[in-house]
Structure 1
Amino acid sequence: MTTRTKKSDPEIADPAPLAQALGVDFVPELLDLALTHSSWAYEHDEAPDNERLEFLGDSVLGLTAARLVFDEFPEAHEGELSRRHHALVSTVTLADIARKIELGPFLRLGRSEHLTGGVDKDSILADALEAVFGAAHLSAGFEVATDLILRLIRPYLADIDRLSAEMDPKTALIECSLERGGDVPVYEVTGEGPDHERVFTAIVRVSCREKLLVEAKREGRSKKQAEIAAALAAWTELRQTPAKGK
């Protein structure tokens, strides 16, 4: 297993404060490995990376989150449990947790990933956090890893609907509209500027029997990005109105 080389990687913080903040007695080499992205490993003579620990951590996380939603929502049916579980273990949630615990500065990333902002990419942060869970399991056991995971994901139960919407805003908006007797949302997208700096503006409207329920407008660097942003804004506003029959 590789050891941290501070002379060659001066930009990487010592992970000891991270371990202390998480309250886990990590095997130092395992924590180092959990924070090692494949791009760093490639640039260091194919050294080991965190993908195997990520695989293990994903399994521990999945079981822990499943038990949490099972206990917290005793009246929920299987489909609802699956939706809530999916939201808790999603890249959106894990990346947000990783940012809150300031995981980014401790990551070992290759030069190209550093230059493209890898320390703040959702996918890299989420994968590294799962690897940290795997390292916690191997270092201190299943119960310690489970306790760590619960401490980090439990607060997200309170806003699980928004997490689900952020994963797929356009679908969430359709479902929210139909629950309120509305129509399928209609999008209008325009673009301005040169091809390499084009900015798209999306307007989404949700109506019910030709009566406008909500309209949202957002910008993005692509049509898809603009539509997703507008959909989430419309969903946020529309969810404040009662569903049909309530």
Structure 2
Amino acid sequence: MDRDTDKVAGKDGNPGSTQAPTVRVSAETAQEADLPARELFTALHAELTPELLIHALTHRSFAHEHPGMPNNERLEFLGDAVLELVATETLYKAHPDQSEGQLAKMRAKAVSEESLSAIARTKLHLGPYILLGRGEAENGGADKDSILCDTVESLIGSVFVEHGIDGARVTVHALLDDTLEEVATEGPALDWKTSVTVKAHRLGLGDPHYAMAVSGPEFAQVFTARLTLGDGDTVIGTADASSKRKAQLAAAAQGWKALDDPEVLASLQAEEAK
């Protein structure tokens, strides 16, 4: 392709992202960029050169269709390590009384695909910026959790390359501090399904059961989970989500909290006694 004139993103190049910005890649170094990235830089608390920014946003599917362009997987690898380091350091300092195992669970939750993809959507509005191959774009790649998560990590890696660990630390704190605070308030196992099981057993109740229902068209299915305990009929948690796992986790979170309600607990204990 003629990379001096080729537009490689947005309305001119990425069929799956009709609102995306346009990026112009020069022949050798991608020095010229028509990318409205000010909002992205503000959210990252760091600026990147056009070449490095484009590198960080280039998914392997796009690089495969444009020989000579590097994909962002090496930057993702680097960013993952930086992210884990800063998250570990933050949790270690913030929770001096927590065990190693508990800190590890907090970190795993904070840097999970679910958490990072949410950050990509809400703080970075990242989907339209990602450079995707035509097939991946047409399949909704700009809103896939895995791609969003990987791109967040590649951006963190890029900040490290450009600004070192101090700059990357600022970026990670800007993106992740809210999440790091939230995970410390979740159930004792930092996994709601495990937490509600442990709590139910401690109260002498049966195992959790999740009744699932699916509605909506195939491309936009909604999964509904209804949580009961043992052989009982009392529903202690109901949730809708875009996946079975997310629906069950949300229902489990409701159930874990419902077990603190004396009326709910009395009803469950009466069922268990039958």
Query: Which TM-score tier does this pair reach, normalised by the shorter chain?
Result: 0.7 to 0.9
Tell me how far apart the structure 1 counterparts of residues 133 and 232 of structure 2 sit (CA, whole Å).
Answer: 53
1:178 aligns with 2:178: no
Q: What pairs up with 1:1-246 in 2 under 5 angstroms?
A: 7-11=7-11, 12-13=20-21, 14=35, 16-17=37-38, 18-45=40-67, 47-100=69-122, 101-160=124-183, 169-189=192-212, 202-206=225-229, 214-217=235-238, 225-226=243-244, 228-242=246-260
Q: How many Å separate the matches in 1 of 2:245 and 2:163?
A: 45
Stretches of structure 1 that go unaligned for 5 or more consecutive residues are none
Which amino acid in the other structure matches residue 72 of structure 1?
A: A
Question: Does structure 1 conserve the Cα–Cα contact (< 8 Å) formed by 2:227 and 2:251?
Answer: no
**Displacement after TM superposition at 1:31 (Å):** 1.4
Taking only aligned residues, the RMSD between alpha carbons, in angstroms, comes to 3.5
Find the aligned partners of 1:112 and 1:30 in 2 and give their Cα distance.
24
CA contact (8 A) 1:192 1:198 kept: yes
Q: Secondary structure at the match of 1:141?
A: helix
Q: Name the aligned partner's letter for residue 256 of structure 2.
A: L
Pick which of 103-112 and 48-57 moved more: 103-112
CA contact (8 A) 1:213 1:238 kept: no
Q: What's the secondary structure of 1:149's corresponding residue?
A: helix
What is the alpha-carbon distance in structure 2 between the residues aligned to residue 144 and residue 82 of structure 1? 24
Matched residue SS, 2:236: strand
Q: 2-side partners of 1:65 and 1:196: how far apart?
A: 35
Rg larger in 1 or in 2? 2
Q: Percent identity?
A: 34
Q: Across the two proteins, how many residue pairs are aligned to each other?
A: 235
TM-score with structure 2 setting the length: 0.72
Change (3 A) 1:6 1:102: farther
| TM-score for both structures, normalised by structure 1 | 0.79
Which has the higher relative contact order, 1 or 2, with Cα contacts under 8 A spaced 6 or more apart?
1
CA contact (8 A) 2:211 2:227 kept: yes
Separation in 2, partners of 1:193, 1:34: 35
CA shift for structure 1 position 88: 1.2
